[in-house]
Structure 1
Amino acid sequence: SYIEKLITVAGKNDSNAHKAVFAALQSKEATKTLVNEVAPKYVDRPGGYTRITRTRIRRGDATTMAFIELV
């Protein structure tokens, strides 16, 4: 849910969107990539940008492992 909110904000592609995304990520390169490359692909999509696929349970601490991908 964290990245989905950032993609929605970055999709507006104005100066306030840049500021909000940078405030969350604290990285100029990541902000530039999200606003200029990732968000324009999902402008027409009404949400649901990520897919979480649970894979296995880690042996050491029994934590569920997962793949997170952009749809």
Structure 2
Amino acid sequence: MRHRKHTFKIGRTSAHRRSLLANAVCSLIEHGRITTTLVKAKEVRRLAEKMVTLGKTGTLHTRRQAIAELQQVDKVGKLFSEIAPGFKERQGGYTRMMKLGPRIGDNAEMCILEFVENDEKAAAQKGAGAAAAAVAAPAAETPAAEDAPKA
């Protein structure tokens, strides 16, 4: 029986799998969102959530563990300084997967993997920007309406 034996092989060697996952997590850190197959996204999500948990701790030891796993110091720096502090109050579930449907060429199930907090912050910033623009727009229209000659 193979109960609780998790494997993610997808026809690659172990070194190739580790490299693929590390690069995908680094792309997720850099861009905040990636489009990939559902099987890869599920495995990338596992590693990404572990890295965010390390980033929340923020010690030198956890930073070195993340660098050892991801192999890209600049991405780990962004993870620890920008992304992980946004999840301080969250106890897990840092990523979201949205299914897109099958890919045209080989019918592989595709999805978007993204960080949850980035979208909430962006929506809040857009909402604040729209509210500020809405407040400024009527103020700008009022003087123009008063100055316009009446017919």
TM-score, scaled to structure 1 = 0.95
Q: Which has the higher helix share?
A: 2
Matched, 1:45 2:90: yes
Q: Of 69, 81, 100, which residue of structure 2 is paired with 1:24?
A: 69
Larger radius of gyration: 2
Distance in 1 (alpha carbons) for counterparts of 2:68 and 2:93: 23
2:12 paired with 1:12: no
RMSD of equivalent CA atoms = 0.7
Deviating beyond 3 angstroms after TM superposition, the runs of 4 or more aligned structure 1 residues are none
Alignment length (residue pairs): 71
TM-superposed CA distance for 1:56, in Å, is 1.6
Identity of aligned residues (%): 31
Taking structure 2 as the reference length, what is the TM-score of the superposition?
A: 0.46
Task: Report which of the two has the higher share of strand.
Answer: 1
> Structure 1: 5+ residue runs without aligned partners?
none
